[in-house]
Amino acid sequence: MTIRPLVILPDNQLRLRSKPVETFDRALEKLVEDMFETMYDAPGIGLAAIQIGVPLRVVTMDLAPKDEPREPRIFVNPEIVSRSEAFACYEEGCLSIPDYYEDVERPDRVRVAYQDMKGARHELDADGLMATCIQHEIDHLNGVLFIDHISKLKRDRVVKKFVKQARRDGPAGAKPQHEAL
């Protein structure tokens, strides 16, 4: 397993639409192993493959509290097939936008269709943190960031901050101090 570098805002890779996984092989297993290693090291609770520079529709998640056993979950080719009409607001952060957190309103329940590591199809009904996290990560697969769900003024400020930081620091990103989606 390898900890891979995170793609950090304003890198344009974060705006790419990821391609579906078509081959379920050892290369996919290695990607997922590296994603978990990277996500746990960050630390985060969710990671889309594009966040390590791989434009494939793969998401890893683990919502287990810090002091409890890990509960790794893998979603290959996930798609939201239905959303509730009710919304919930959660404070979100992102490993690709270190140390920035903002309240985001999203549907409070979703149904997600996805494949497992062998290509078998599944559906999952999610609510609460799971619903927020899976929506956040599927957004990444579609080139959407959580800051796209906040006001233009706030979004412009955070983008400007990260553009300035990238110019100053170069391509290496800072490691976040708190767990992020």
* Distance in angstroms (rounded) separating the CA atoms of residues 94 and 97: 5
Number of H helices, E strands in the chain: 3, 7
Please choose, from the candidates 37, 159, 151, 19, the residue with its C-alpha nearest in 3D space to the C-alpha of residue 96.
Answer: 159
Identify the active-site residue in 22, 68, 71, 137.
137
Catalytic site residue 71? no
How far CA 151 is from CA of 39, 112, 146, 147, in Å, comes to 28, 27, 11, 8
Residue positions annotated with a catalytic role: 137
